[in-house]
Amino acid sequence: MTAAADLYRALVLDHGKHPRNLGRLAAATHAADGDNPLCGDVVRVEAEVVGDGVVALRFSGESCVLATASASLMTERVVGMRTGEVARAIAAIEARCAGSEARGAGSEARGGGGEARGGGGEARGGGGEARGGGGAPAGGTLPKLDDVLQAFADVHRHRVRIACATLPWRTLGRALGD
Amino acid sequence: MEHHANIVPWQMLCRARGAVLRVAPVDDRGVLDRDAFADLVGPRTRIVALAHVSNALGTLNPVAELAALAHAHGAVVLVDGAQAVAHVPVDVAALGCDFYACSGHKLYGPTGIGVLYGRAALLDAMPPWQGGGEMVRSVTWDEVTYEAAPQRFEAGTPPIAAAVGLGAAIAYLEDHDPAARMGHEADLLAYAAEALARVPGLRMIGTAPAKIGGHSFILAGVHAHDVATVLDGEGIAVRAGHHCAQPILRRFGVAATVRASFGLYNTRDDVDRLIAGLGAVRALFAP
């Protein structure tokens, strides 16, 4: 594995093979369907938003490992965020995947904020149970935004795959924009 | 089993002219249903357009037989030969087609150029589709006289460099004995079919007895693009996706396949490498 190793990092493979928060959300307040016409990937994102906070997020569909892992990581990372923060996270992921690093410094600042909110996500418990001993490199804690950004750091080298990694996030953006 | 390039222009024509597009089905191997085809063609059929070889399945169509049937009803026959020209010698008279189209980049030549053969009597009867330089004999403010076909269909300065490149590519192909080329590729195709059949979880999409060019397949539990990315890392170039042939992939219940195509430069070693690469794919994505 040479060129593929940078794309299929441990965190991506873990979430791609053992996706978290896969399924439908009965209490969804926001939802959207997304697809990549080129490869046939489809993903549905369902979110429960209370006030301006995302309290639950699930995804379903048929997609490649990259899109599945990206969706899984997204569901873990985004729960507990406010919708404004989600919008910034989506922009950061899209920029990272596209290889436009102008926002690099800003993403760290947001990563710090993400860490603080990560506690809130863990407190929910449900996400932790769903993990089912996946053995994430993060050691059982929910991924920070920087972990997610790092996981997709080399996607920009594989131009046809950028749309795979960003599909769930773009779909979430449309769901929350409803 | 058509490429979008042999679907979309007809849909546009149908919308513009009120024509009706009718589609001949294929069986589970990807072989055209000749009885259904015969039932579809009638006195109101104006054009029969079909692929010489399917780019998504590799099926080689019995063009001469289908063209004869279409001609019996007075239809004009256009053949999309993009996937065929690099693999089989093409004799438009023997095929009995009225038009034959192919692309430069599918026969080891440049992009942006191709060949459209048309029967002289039809070309002579057709008006120009585009106006400009080169395609006229004389122009006044009131009158224009067109060149004879085919010049009248080639308005403007042609892509000269691409045409020279295309000529070189055709010369390269013609330097190789057609029978030897076909024999070599048939051997690779059979060798690869046997080896792929032994890969666990692999399903071949397109199993027609007469196949040309390559194999299309899916791997259980692994998306086609993930297969292609890992193979790419191993130095193996395959095409993943819907191959601009969404309707036929839908017919087989898949959104995307991996396609390994063979040319005259490929060897059995390349097939062995592909099989080893698929082993790496399965290892990486094993649950």
User: What average pLDDT score do residues A5-34 get?
Assistant: 94
User: Using alpha carbons only, what angle is made at residue B209 by residues B207 and B210, rounded to the nearest 5 degrees?
Assistant: 105
Q: Is the predicted pLDDT of residue A52 greater than 70, yes or no?
A: yes
Across B208-224, average pLDDT? 96
Distance from B233 to chain A by nearest Cα, in Å? 4
pLDDT band for B20, please (50, 70, 90 cuts): very high
Q: What is the model's pLDDT at position B12?
A: 98
**For the segment B70-104, what is each residue's pLDDT rounded down to a tens digit?**
999 999 999 999 999 999 999 999 999 999 999 99
| CB-nearest partner of B223 from A2, A63, A160 | A63
Across the interface, whether the CB atoms of B226 and A64 are under 8 A apart is answered yes
What residues form DSSP beta bridges with A44? A33, A60
Q: What is the pLDDT of residue A5?
A: 80
Phi-psi region of A51 (alpha: psi -120 to 50; beta: other; left: phi over 0): left
pLDDT of residue A139 exceeding 50: no
Give the pLDDT score at B74.
97
Which of A5, A40, A65 is nearest residue B226 as measured by Cβ atoms? A65
Q: Which residues of chain A lie closer than 8 angstroms to B257, CB-CB? A: none
* pLDDT surpasses 80 at A45: yes
Choose from A36-40, A102-106, B69-73 the range with maximum mean pLDDT.
B69-73
Mutation target to probe the A interface, by most A beta carbons within 10 A, among B222, B223, B236, B273 is: B223
Residue of B192, B207, B212 lying closest to B84 (CA atoms): B212
Q: Which residues are CB-contacts of A125 (< 8 A; sequence separation ≥ 6)? A: none
pLDDT of residue A178: 54
Say whether B244 is catalytic: yes
Angle, helices B268-285/B178-197, rounded to nearest 10 degrees = 30
pLDDT tier at A109, thresholds 50, 70, 90: very low
Percent of chain B with pLDDT over 70: 100
Quote the CA–CA distance of B266 and A177 in Å, as a whole number: 51
Helix ranges (DSSP H) in chain B: 8-17, 34-40, 63-72, 92-95, 120-125, 160-174, 178-197, 224-233, 246-251, 268-285
Residue among B269, B248, B255 nearest B56 (CA): B248
pLDDT digits (tens, 9 = 90+) for B33-52: 999 999 999 999 999 999 99
Please tell me if residue A153 touches chain B, with a CB cutoff of 8 Å. Answer: no
- Greater model confidence, A126 or A79: A79
- 3-class SS of residue A138: coil
Which DSSP category does A39 fall into?
T
- Closest-CA residue to B167 (of B117, B210, B216, B107): B107
pLDDT band at B277 (very low <50, low <70, confident <90, very high): very high
Mean pLDDT (chain A) is 80
B256 touches A at CB < 8 Å: yes
pLDDT of res. A22: 97
Q: Is B242 on the interface with A (CB under 8 A)?
A: yes
State what percent of residues in chain B have pLDDT above 90.
99
Cβ contact B147:B141 at 8 Å:
no
**pLDDT tens, position by position, B99-150:** 999 999 999 999 999 999 999 999 999 999 999 998 999 999 999 999 999 9
- Mean pLDDT in residue range B267-271: 98
Alpha helices in chain A (DSSP H): 10-17, 65-78, 83-98, 104-124, 126-130, 145-151, 162-177
Any idea which residue has 């042609």 for tokens?
Answer: B158
Give the pLDDT score at B286. 86
pLDDT of A131 strictly over 70: no
A12 touches chain B (CB under 8 A): no
Interface test with A, best of B205, B219, B225, B281 (most A CBs within 10 A): B225
Interstrand relation of B99-103 and A41-50 (parallel, antiparallel or unpaired)? unpaired
For chain A, say whether B285 makes contact (Cβ under 8 Å): yes
Q: What span, in angstroms and rounded, lies between the C-alpha atoms of B216 and B227?
A: 12
pLDDT of residue A108: 42
Give the pLDDT confidence score for residue A136 in this predicted structure.
41
- Tell which wins on pLDDT, B210 or A105: B210
Single-letter amino acid code for the residue at B254: V
Residue of A130 and B157 predicted with greater confidence: B157
pLDDT given for residue B122 in this prediction: 97
B241: which strand partners? B257
CB of B276 less than 8 A from some CB of A: no
| Confidence band for A4, pLDDT divided at 50, 70 and 90 | confident
